């Protein structure tokens, strides 16, 4: 296949709002020895993209400065040291940046086959959320069957993935969302209890249920102290984002008395080896659940690449339910 010299990309003219996203052109990336070059079909839009657009999440050393952490597409070139994929394979992949583009180079071990029964467009919205949820909730935590998990932001990309995967693997899922429509969406995904946080307080609900064993939080701010109240003894509190702020004043005594584990992570900065290990487990333990309909992609809306600013505006509104996707023409 003869490849073009240039490709369409979305670049940021400066740090700022969705309006700084602009259609531009770049030379095609050249895959490193352990990378494959993917001709993109679609790319997922994620929270970290918005943070990077605002100038607050610089890409790691050696990564593309373009936005985009996941992609689906066709393998069109192979690095000299690759062996897992062939030209023409259709894959989805976790990227280190650069998926808002027609072509993206990715470590071959961070690529996964498109699950059986999933469209190539929908597949673009799988990697980032599934890598994040698996690595923080399930990886090296085998004894979770029957435990209670509280998932904040249940209708978003991470939240909807965690609800589905948790329910499929035996967790009793409680979740919070911002409307009755979003709560209904969460219940359809498999949540045991969906809490409209505008009308109800999740703390007494979880305490009455015996407390949460695991809490996945993307809110931060005053939610941190409330999460601690909602947790049972020996629970694990996983912090992934801070929509209400990361600087708080908090009493640490309940953490000690309840023997809580408070942890967090940013996936993008993890080692190549760690991401490869997560990809391998997803292929083995999670991807088969799509073929038996225990998992289904949840795409809220698909935009053309040139409408990336509209996609970011929608994500910032918080009204989406599931993933937002950019279709690469």
**Tens digits of residue pLDDT in 262-307:** 999 899 989 999 999 999 999 999 999 999 999 999 999 999 999 9
Q: Which two tokens stand for residue 53?
A: 């657009």
Q: Which residues contact 188 (CB under 8 A, 6 or more apart)?
A: none
Start-end of H helices in 30-85: 47-53
Residue among 177, 203, 178, 207 at smallest CA distance from 191: 177
Q: Which residues of the chain have pLDDT under 50?
A: none
Q: What is the per-residue pLDDT for 259?
A: 98
Task: Please tell me the distance from the alpha carbon of residue 184 to that of residue 196, in angstroms, as a whole number.
Answer: 10
- The alpha-carbon radius of gyration of the chain (Å, integer) is 20
In the three-class reduction of DSSP (H, G, I as helix; E, B as strand; rest coil), residue 229 is classed as helix
Q: What's the topology of domain 6-126+268-327?
A: Quinone Oxidoreductase; Chain A, domain 1 (3.90.180)
Q: How far is CA 142 from CA 114, 132, 199, 221, 293, in A?
A: 25, 16, 35, 30, 22
Going by their DSSP bridges, the two strands 193-196 and 323-327 should be labelled as unpaired
CA distance 296 to 119: 11
pLDDT in the model for residue 294: 96
Question: HSE-up of 291 (CA within 13 Å, CB side)?
Answer: 10
State how beta strands 6-12 and 70-78 pair: unpaired
Res 142: pLDDT: 79
Q: Where are the domains of the chain?
A: 6-126+268-327, 130-265
The CATH number of the domain covering residues in 130-265: 3.40.50.720
Return d(Cα 40, Cα 103) in angstroms, integer.
5
Task: Centre a 10 Å sphere on the Cβ of residue 101 and count the other Cβ atoms it contains.
Answer: 29
pLDDT (tens digit, 9 = 90+) per residue, 240-249?
999 899 999 9
């Amino acid at each position: 296949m003869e490849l073009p010299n240039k490709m369409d990309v979305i670049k940021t003219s400066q740090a700022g709002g969705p309006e700084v996203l602009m259609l531009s052109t770049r030379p095609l990336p050249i895959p490193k020895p352990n990378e494959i070059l993917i001709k993109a079909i679609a790319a997922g839009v994620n929270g970290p993209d918005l943070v990077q657009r605002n100038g607050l999440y610089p890409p790691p050393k050696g990564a593309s400065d373009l936005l985009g952490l996941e992609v689906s597409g066709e393998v069109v070139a192979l690095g000299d040291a690759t062996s897992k994929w062939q030209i023409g394979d259709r894959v989805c992949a976790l990227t280190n940046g650069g998926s808002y583009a027609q072509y993206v180079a990715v470590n071959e071990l961070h690529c996964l086959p498109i699950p059986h029964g999933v469209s190539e467009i929908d597949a673009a919205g799988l990697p980032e959320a599934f890598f994040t949820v698996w690595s923080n909730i399930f990886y090296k935590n085998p004894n979770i069957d029957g435990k209670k998990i509280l998932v904040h932001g249940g209708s978003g990309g991470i939240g909807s993935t965690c609800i589905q995967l948790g329910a499929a693997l035996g967790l009793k899922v409680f979740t919070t969302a911002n409307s009755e429509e979003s709560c209904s969406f969460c219940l359809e995904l498999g949540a045991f209890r969906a809490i409209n946080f505008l009308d109800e307080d999740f703390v007494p609900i979880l305490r009455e249920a015996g407390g949460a064993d695991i809490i996945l939080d993307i809110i931060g701010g005053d939610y941190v102290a409330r999460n601690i109240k909602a947790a049972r003894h020996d629970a694990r509190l996983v912090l992934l984002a801070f929509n209400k702020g990361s600087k708080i004043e908090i009493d640490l005594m309940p953490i000690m008395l309840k023997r809580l584990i408070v942890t967090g992570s940013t996936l993008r900065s993890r080692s190549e080896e760690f991401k490869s290990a997560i990809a391998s487990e997803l292929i083995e333990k999670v991807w088969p659940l799509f073929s038996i309909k225990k998992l289904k992609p949840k795409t809220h809306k698909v935009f053309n690449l040139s409408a990336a600013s509209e996609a970011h505006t929608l994500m910032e509104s918080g009204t989406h339910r599931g993933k937002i996707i950019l279709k690469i023409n």
